[in-house]
Amino acid sequence: MDSYKNLADKVLISLLKQRDRKAFSEIYDRYSMIVYFNANQILRDADLSKDIVQDLFTAIWEKSSNIKEDANLSAYLYAASRNRVLNVIQKGKTKSDYLREIGRYAKQFSEDTIEKLDEKELMMLIANEIAKLPPRMREVFQLSRIEDLSHKEIAVQLNISESTVKKQVQNALKILRVRLSVYSKYGFLFLLFLRNN
């Protein structure tokens, strides 16, 4: 399986179209967290976001013949997950508070912009900067942003006060805003990721 980790996306697509399960697993490993992250940043619902991941990757396996050999895989997955998020919102399965946000989000990115995004690069940049945070701050931040736990839930889990959790998240955000501000081409995605609440 390690040999698959070094394969380019286009090679993985070709193998996927031949029904190669290891290629599918590698695609899933590379991109499932990115799909989940993108969905959850809009929906703010972990279960719905996990459903989108499951639905999307099931469709990729079942309809792999429809994927073009020269497709930009990250852009393809981004567009497919965005469409699923929009479908969930249209069906009224998410909180109406986020409808305006998704409207702004959808307008922000044209199809041309999506094609230029390298989501894997984006997630690697974020992951690298999070990894550089002090250990406790990193743990608190990951529980807040990746696991989507509330400050209260984090405080209970780590046996610390809610005010400590809040302070750790705020400090992490300050550090990450400075470190990630140089990557302006990802501006809106970073703003979503680095939201204050």
90 and 161 inside one domain = no
178 and 113 inside one domain = no
18 and 102 inside one domain = yes
Structure tokens at 171: 């400090």
Tell whether the model's pLDDT for residue 22 goes beyond 90. yes
Return the DSSP state at 69.
Answer: T
113 and 125 inside one domain = no
159: left (phi over 0), alpha (psi -120 to 50) or beta: left
Q: Please give the residue that has the higher pLDDT: either 126 or 137.
A: 137
Q: Which of 117, 137, 171 is the last residue of a domain?
A: 117
Structure tokens at 20: 């190669």
Q: Provide the domain limits for residue 129.
A: 118-197
148: left (phi over 0), alpha (psi -120 to 50) or beta: left
Place of tokens 């986020």: 98
Domains held by the chain: number: 2
* CB < 8 Å & 24+ apart, contacts of 118-125: 118/74, 119/31, 119/34, 119/38, 119/74, 119/75, 119/77, 119/78, 120/30, 120/31, 120/34, 120/74, 122/34, 122/183, 122/186, 122/189, 123/33, 123/34, 123/37, 125/180, 125/183, 125/186
Q: Which of 99, 117, 135 is the last residue of a domain?
A: 117
16 and 95 inside one domain = yes
pLDDT digits (tens, 9 = 90+) for 109-118: 444 444 444 5
Q: Which of 117, 144, 162 is the last residue of a domain?
A: 117
pLDDT digits (tens, 9 = 90+) for 40-96: 877 778 888 899 999 999 999 998 888 888 888 888 888 888 888 877 776 765 445
pTM of the model: 0.52
Over residues 170-185, the mean pLDDT reads 72
**Inter-residue contact 106 to 18 (CB < 8 Å):** no
Measured distance CA(4)–CA(179) in Å, rounded: 32
145 and 105 inside one domain = no
